[in-house]
Structure 1
């Protein structure tokens, strides 16, 4: 398989894995207006729909590896490298938001099965960090699409 073929494959995998990650991220973003004002009991009930979503974590690893591969394989294509780096920065930013705000809320609430006194602060952190992460993933997907469009064959 040629270097160009590997590059095409990496780009396809990056686009697909980013699309899957973006789908989950946008679900969080679009549910925010309907969930942010729920009562405590209703909110904790609704949060139960996310049990099992952690299994999608492997998609982020595939996304990371494929984006790094794009950057490495695009040695002769400066524009693709730049947009690959933008996509990587977006993925890292989304993960920083998750590990800084979302994950601690999950831990403090034992994945939304325990109601601590500061649950409203945790809810706000959880909801808005997911929304910001969705914006990062959308920007990353945009960068990958541009990389695919400007790529020299």
Structure 2
């Protein structure tokens, strides 16, 4: 989630950069983001889908966990539909070969990353809620749920 949130926090400043500077960032700063966070984001989707399977019989937790998994999967769709084409089109260019409509490409890239960050924040919140829905609210609730008071449960 950190890379997507970093993009979101950087966005206001980057929308004011000229084409040459924005392209330079795209070419030099962000390749590492993909190599590290890309792997982590795939792992997050897999882990979340596994969790969906584990909690499938716990109705309240299942819904929130499924929402989280859906948000994480949507972030990948956004990347491949809107971000990757910009990377493919612009990363090989130089400031001199940047197209006249480069701002349209920039906006597509920046706002797609912003949407990804928001979806990842929603996913994290949904996972937290899925855990909270499983917590007993009273001592009586914990007595009615066998295993919750036992070590390792």
CA contact (8 A) 1:106 1:112 kept: no
Offset, 1:24: 1.0
2:102 pairs, out of 107, 113, 119, with: 119
Deviation per CA, 1:18-72: give whole Å up to 9, x if none. xxxx211110001000001211112122322112222121112211111111111
Offset, 1:115: 2.4
Offset, 1:151: 2.4
Higher-Rg structure is 2
2:113 pairs, out of 104, 127, 130, with: 130
Distance change >3 Å, CA 111–CA 150, structure 1 → 2: farther
Matches within 5 A, 1:2-41: 22-41=1-20
Q: Give the secondary structure class of the aligned counterpart of 1:76.
A: coil
Task: Give the structure with the higher percent helix.
Answer: 1
User: What is the aligned partner in structure 1 of residue 88 from structure 2?
Assistant: 107
1:51 pairs, out of 6, 31, 36, with: 31
User: What is the aligned partner in structure 1 of residue 138 from structure 2?
Assistant: none
User: What is the aligned partner in structure 1 of residue 131 from structure 2?
Assistant: 148
Structure 1-normalised TM-score?
Answer: 0.79
Q: Give the secondary structure class of the aligned counterpart of 1:151.
A: coil
Q: What is the aligned residue count?
A: 132
Unaligned runs of 5+ in 1: 1-21
| Structure-2 separation of matches of 1:25 and 1:75 | 28
Deviation per CA, 1:64-84: give whole Å up to 9, x if none. 111111111113311111011
Unaligned runs of 5+ in 2: 136-147, 149-153
Residue 98 (structure 1) aligned with residue 79 (structure 2):
yes
Structure 2-normalised TM-score?
Answer: 0.79
Runs of 4+ that moved beyond 4 A = 111-114
